Amino acid sequence: MILSYVRVSTDPQKDGTSPEEQQRKNCGFAMMKGVDKFDVTEYYDDGVSGAVALCDRPEGKRMMDDMRAGDTIVAAKLDRIFRSALDALQTVEKLKEVGVDLVLLDVGMEPVNKNGIARLFFSMLASFAEFERNRIAERTGDGRDAKKRNGGCIGTAPYGFRKVGSGKMARLEEDPYEQEIISNVRALSKDTIPGVIARKLNDAGYHCRSGHPFQIIQVQRMIHHG
């Protein structure tokens, strides 16, 4: 039995990983092996992130439950089926124990878990794929840091500021009300402990962003971080 696995996470896919393209390649493999179409079972995870392990995806889990010794799982590309080198190697070990072959068509037509040389190549390829995902994450993080340095806003605005605009155009702007509270807290902190400062703020009618009374920890954060 051929178990044809397909996954897409975005729509449309324009890099040769559309569901139709993946299905075409998987069916082509089955035809070359002389497998009847009735002996091909398709599993299609639509809109599932590659960050999700195969066994945690709806169709991926069903495929893992359905597979039997002698079956062959086929996927068009390595990154369609695995999220990381660790996920790949752990899954391959499980397939080996069950007696199921794994074919990744961007690697070749032969099972990647069939012999020592194929396993070595597969391990290297999986490691490179994980490295590339890590590099993408690093570049994304660098982009966020650069945006912050240039006055942009990522996520919730810190106390003392408010978020203006949205998306890539979002930036931070000082909030006069919160900046006044921070100034008062810092002035009082020279000779007053945080607990007393919190009580003074509440007695004076000030309130935190949520509208609730100030707590000691909030005062401490303003003293140390602004």
* Residue 56, number of CB atoms within 10 A of its CB: 12
Q: Considering the entire predicted model, what is its pTM?
A: 0.56
Domains of the chain: 2-138 (3.40.50.1390), 152-226 (no CATH)
HEC string of the chain? CEEEEEEECCCCCCCCCCHHHHHHHHHHHHHHCCCCHHHEEEEEEECCCCCCCHHHCHHHHHHHHHCCCCCEEEECCHHHHCCCHHHHHHHHHHHHHHCCEEEECCCCCCCCCCCHHHHHHHHHHHHHHHHHHHHHHHHHHHHHHHHHHCCECCCCCCCCEEEECCHHHCEEEECHHHHHHHHHHHHHCCCCCHHHHHHHHHHCCCCCCCCCCCCHHHHHHHHHHC
Place of tokens 């006044």: 180
Convert the pLDDT of each residue in 43-93 to its tens digit: 999 888 888 889 999 999 999 999 999 999 999 988 899 877 777 878 888
Place of tokens 């794994």: 102
Q: Decide if pLDDT at 101 tops 90.
A: yes
pLDDT band per the 50, 70, 90 thresholds, residue 150: low
pLDDT band per the 50, 70, 90 thresholds, residue 12: very low
Give residue 152's pLDDT: 53
**Residues 4, 42 contacting (CB under 8 angstroms):** yes
- Percent of the chain exceeding pLDDT 90 equals 34
**Residues 43, 64 contacting (CB under 8 angstroms):** no
d(CA 139, CA 200): 45
Convert the pLDDT of each residue in 103-136 to its tens digit: 999 888 888 887 766 777 777 777 776 776 677 7
Convert the pLDDT of each residue in 181-194 to its tens digit: 999 899 999 899 99
